Amino acid sequence: MFAYIVRRLLYAIPILIGVNLLTFTLFFVVNSPDDMAVSQLGEKYVTPEAIAAWKKKNGYDKPLFVNAEGAGLAAVTDTIFFTKSLKLFAFDFGRSESGRDITTDVSTRMWPSLAVALPTFIVGIWVNICVALLVVMFHATRLDRWAVFVFVCLMSISYLFYIIGGQYLVAKTWKLVPISGFHADAQAWKFLILPVLVGVVAGIGSGARWYRTLFLEEANQDYVRTARAKGASEIGILFTHILPNALIPILTGVVVLIPSLFMGSLLIESFFGIPGLGSYMLDAIKSQDFAIVRSMVFIGSILYIVGLILTDISYTWADPRVRLN
């Protein structure tokens, strides 16, 4: 298993290089370093000298991928791509184009993201499982079919409507919670109720439907018949046989998401004014702040890869049949 993890981590390096190459290409096809300087310097009194100074200060005064003037290895190393990527691999994200330290920003904004994403994730899974179990209890009645229909309806509503509706009703009309904002203090939960609620409700449709399918799939397995032949009650079977088995695909399906929780949710964060990484990313895209975009892509890729590895590990943990090699 250790060897397996090490191998997966080594495999991550070419992937990250590829990711970086793609990010750089995409970004610099659109923008030249000059464009970046102009966007950062504002609208008034932008002189070529100011642009040159900005590029020098921020390290964009080099060729992108190949330095024709550089001798030998310098042809590749003395480039924007190499210098900027190398720093990323050392987890040195540097400063954003507007001059703020990205590491500090990321490490402070990570927590609000997590504060929303983690409860949404956990409560979401819990609620979905409960609802799915309830529906499985209805199984083979007309209610079951209606429940599935309702799930599909819930799935068919755009996330935006959940957010808009939630804010309009709960915060604006009923005045139960603040409409947006976040404070990292004892009363932080007050701000989290609504985003978590919206996140959970929006996820019920697809989540509960998926879990229901998993439960029913397990319910058709031979060992369930065995358990019934033993004389176990329906509820007993549900909890001692079906649930643990259905948890395998559930767990492994969601484990890949856990690291990405740090990245937060783009929409929820921007609608609810939560200063997390999701809105950080959105702002960076909007203001075309390449340093942040580059770093976030890098972090996102790493988290994704970690998620994949965790998934594999969680398989071995949840399912005694699986061994890694």
- Among positions 153-182, residues that touch other proteins (CB under 8 A) are 153, 155-161, 164, 167-182
Quick one: 105 or 312, whose CB is closer to other proteins? 105
What does residue 47 show for φ and ψ, rounded to 5 degrees?
-105, 155
- Sign, CA torsion 32/86/313/128: negative
Kindly state the smallest distance separating residue 118's Cβ from other proteins, in Å. 18
- How far is Cα 182 from Cα 23, in angstroms, rounded to an integer? 31
Q: Binding-site residue total for other proteins (CB under 8 A)?
A: 129
Q: Is 192 in the site for other proteins (CB under 8 A)?
A: no
Q: Which stretch binds other proteins (CB under 8 A): 60-68, 71-79, 95-103, 116-124?
A: 95-103
- How far is Cα 177 from Cα 167, in angstroms, rounded to an integer? 9
Q: Is 72 in the site for other proteins (CB under 8 A)?
A: no
Tokens 């029913």 correspond to what residue?
A: 216
List the one residue from 64, 122, 123, 138 that touches other proteins (CB under 8 A).
138
- How far is Cα 320 from Cα 315, in angstroms, rounded to an integer? 8
Q: Is 325 in the site for other proteins (CB under 8 A)?
A: yes
Amino acid (1-letter code) at residue 266: L
Site for other proteins in 249-288 (CB under 8 A): 263, 266-267, 270-273, 275, 279-283, 285-288
Quick one: 76 or 153, whose CB is closer to other proteins? 153
Quick one: 74 or 91, whose CB is closer to other proteins? 91
- How far is Cα 202 from Cα 120, in angstroms, rounded to an integer? 10
Q: Is 185 in the site for other proteins (CB under 8 A)?
A: yes
Q: Is 316 in the site for other proteins (CB under 8 A)?
A: no
Q: 323: buried, middle or exposed (CB in 10 Å: 19+, 13-18, 0-12)?
A: exposed
